[in-house]
Amino acid sequence: MSVKTNPKPYFSIIIPCLNEEHYLPDLLKSLNHQTFQDFDVHVVDGNSDDNTAQVAKDFKSKYSLYLHSTKTRSVSFQRNLGASKAKGDVLVFFDADTTIPKDYLKKVYQAYQSKHPHFLTTYVKVDSDKASELMFGLLNNLVFEIGKLLNLPFALGAMQSVLRSAFIQVGGYDNNTKFGEDSQLFQKLSEYNYHYTLLPSPRYTFSLRRLQKNGILETMNQYLKLNLSIFLKGYHFDADYDMGGSAYNEKEAVKIGYIKSLQPLFQKLRKRSQKQNQKFKQILEMFFDTDQ
């Protein structure tokens, strides 16, 4: 099924999957149309119940595509497994429902050549034109910028990129982390003093399928509860957050107060902001004013 074999590609793209037969083809097609073609692809399937594995096998591509199967259904484990099989100098992790424009990898490659980061991500846009849903992308980009300024990098697992050597040194993703493993990895890399870059362009498209299935309030309640647990308990807690195309069954919404639940995050950001200039601190105080 592989059109060409490159023993040492520049990028190795790793895609963890579970029941993604409907979404995976869109990502593979967007990879097929890339103007930069020095990469291979590693699809890591968690023993899906649908035709995900067959979709990957049958996909006609311009690049080398490898299918790895595991009975362990864990996004961290599957990403680490893909990384262990990869030969590229730079690892790029995508979620199966991510899509990218045709010049995406070219611009990421150019950033590695000109800025020389050890790890990076890019701005996100969402697959929606609704104002209420567009805000999700804008807020994520704002969080990315704040994290960069405070040396506390945040990222979505939908797209993360890191030099393979740096990934190996920090031990990759934490297999014991069920939620937040994406930002946890970037913060580990930052603690090792690896150089981080955030690119406003290009932008990958983030799927809002979870939000559109469960509704804005329920989805935000879930994210707030999970992030609160990270700040109170650390990354190792029993998270109710499933991966895969079957993760969208209706669940009872968690009733929590938005402002109070975010208080630990605000306090952490404010503490970090004291190391920055006074103007930025004032911006944070205005943006995170919990008295309003």
| pLDDT tens-digit map of 161-216 | 999 999 999 999 999 887 678 888 999 999 999 999 999 999 999 988 665 555 55
Q: Is 254 within the bounds of a domain?
A: no
Q: Is 262 within the bounds of a domain?
A: no
Q: Is 37 within the bounds of a domain?
A: yes
Percent of the chain with pLDDT over 70: 68
> What single letter denotes the amino acid at residue 124?
V
E strands, the chain, where?
11-17, 39-45, 64-69, 90-94, 119-126, 159-163, 196-206
Tens digit of each residue's pLDDT (9 = 90 or more) over 1-15: 445 556 799 999 999
Q: In this structure, what CATH number is given to the domain that contains residue 98?
A: 3.90.550.10
Q: Is 232 within the bounds of a domain?
A: no
Q: Is 255 within the bounds of a domain?
A: no
Q: Based on the structure, what is the number of domains in the chain?
A: 1
Query: Could you count the other beta carbons within 10 Å of the beta carbon of residue 271?
Result: 10
Tens digit of each residue's pLDDT (9 = 90 or more) over 109-132: 999 999 999 999 999 998 888 777
Q: CB–CB of 159/92 below 8 Å? A: yes
Q: Is 252 within the bounds of a domain?
A: no
State mean pLDDT over 134-141.
83
The distance in angstroms from the start CA to the end CA of the chain is 58
Q: Is 228 within the bounds of a domain?
A: no
CA 167 from chain centre, in angstroms, equals: 15
Q: Is 220 within the bounds of a domain?
A: no
Which range marks the domain in which residue 200 is found? 11-209
